[in-house]
A and B are shown apart, each in its own frame.
Chain A
């Protein structure tokens, strides 16, 4: 098909043009900051982590704040999971029978909720409950509602239908069908999604401090602004360590669940 080939070459040409245009369009003015001395200074700074910051007993040290970060993620995941239950039920096609317009509307709402970045929710909740870790936890929770609402309601719609028919056949009511065949099939999958989002939330919680929502985010931004590289290095190491450990543990639990 020569016409299709022609169109494909045209698209390739267009792609190359946009690529070149994007690179030309960029503002390269801050390349001058990339000097060797500068980079060497940063590199050596990063190689000497500020270990005195790890624990100093004031409650503002690394161990305490990392713990707070993980707790924010846990609290956010918990309230997000609990709050998402009504949303999941309302947006599952299987719970509505003939009234398919409702799940469609709910899914639209969930899409909107998901498209707002967690940082914006954090700003909102900092205004509502004041700066602090609670605001961060609420922000993560609200964003999680959008995520879980979509993922779990889709799982609820594509479970194995044979046990459902079997329980219907012995005369169970709709509620009993839900309780004994739909729910047990979805629970492990939902738990796995929740654990996965706990991992994601730990990552997000490390940056919420940017807007004053608690956790390790604020100290790392201060350290970055002061160019305090040894401190940046020790905080980054702690974040990497905690994220790796939590990913490992939760992937183990998820393997067991499924």
Chain B
């Protein structure tokens, strides 16, 4: 930490930027019709919501078991499909493997385009294309995982040791052989770790995917919300939290013992 990092030296700059931000905030409030008195006046609504939330309807749990298993199997198959397709695509997105900047550029643009679409929108898009159902959820999860994992994989390919690549190259290996024998063993462990990580993210996301009709426990969430059964909503959220906790325990075990 240097002296120039302290507050004094930037006082005017900081006051100026704070004022600018506050002005922008007030202007933004005008644009979206912010009316804070409404928040205070209608706090009863929020209290009603919270009250239901604090009393989970435990008896509802036996009807949630089936959608829970459905959610888990959707996440497993979606993550699997996403990772399986992301691996070769990420290999094609690095200069080390393709040695062709044009292909690399095309693949990277594709990756970043996929990642800009929020997963709920992706789900809504797939619902419109192939209709309501579990397969829609699996496809959404697969595409979403593809975007997330391909990014992570090509970032880790960039950091590998290029010694083995040069060795393979010097004895005349083809690019495919280099990818399989020199690159893959170096990134395999991170790929498994990313797969586990994205599985966790997908379980979390499954709550909202069902909201647009992509199957799983989110469908129950949608029903409970539209009938304002907040006890059920809170139970569903608790179950998703429990699933996330469970997957993080399992993936921690796998990371420690196996990978």
Contact = CB atoms under 8 A, between A and B. Distances in A.
Interface in A36-76: 38-39, 42, 67-68, 71-72, 74-75
Nearest to A181: B1
Contact of B212 (A68, A75, A163, A210): A210
B88 interface: no
Contact of A128 (B42, B207, B258): B42
Interface stretch (A88-96, A144-152, A224-232): A224-232
Interface in A216-249: 220-221, 224-225, 227, 232, 236, 239-240, 243-244, 247
A119 B121 CA distance: 13
Interface residues of A, number: 72
A129 B42 contact: yes
Contacts of A129: 35, 38-39, 42
B132 to A, nearest CB: 7
Contacts of B215: 27
A130 interface: yes
SS class of chain A's interface: helix, strand, loop or mixed? helix
19 contacts: A18-B76, A19-B76, A21-B73, A23-B73, A30-B132, A68-B31, A71-B28, A71-B31, A74-B24, A75-B25, A115-B237, A119-B208, A120-B225, A124-B49, A129-B35, A137-B34, A206-B121, A240-B116, A247-B116
Interface of B: 1, 5-7, 21, 24-25, 28-29, 31-35, 38-39, 42-43, 45-46, 49, 69-70, 72-74, 76-77, 80, 112-113, 116-118, 120-121, 124-125, 127-136, 138, 207-208, 211-212, 215, 225, 233, 237, 240-241, 244, 254, 257-258
Interface of A: 4, 7-8, 11, 18-19, 21-23, 25-31, 33-34, 38-39, 42, 67-68, 71-72, 74-75, 78, 115-117, 119-120, 123-124, 127-130, 132-134, 136-138, 160, 162-163, 179-181, 183-185, 203-204, 206-207, 210, 214, 220-221, 224-225, 227, 232, 236, 239-240, 243-244, 247
Given A127-B46, A134-B33, A236-B117, 20 more contacts: A8-B258, A22-B74, A26-B74, A26-B135, A31-B135, A71-B28, A75-B25, A117-B207, A123-B225, A124-B49, A127-B42, A179-B7, A185-B5, A210-B124, A210-B211, A220-B121, A239-B116, A239-B121, A244-B112, A247-B116
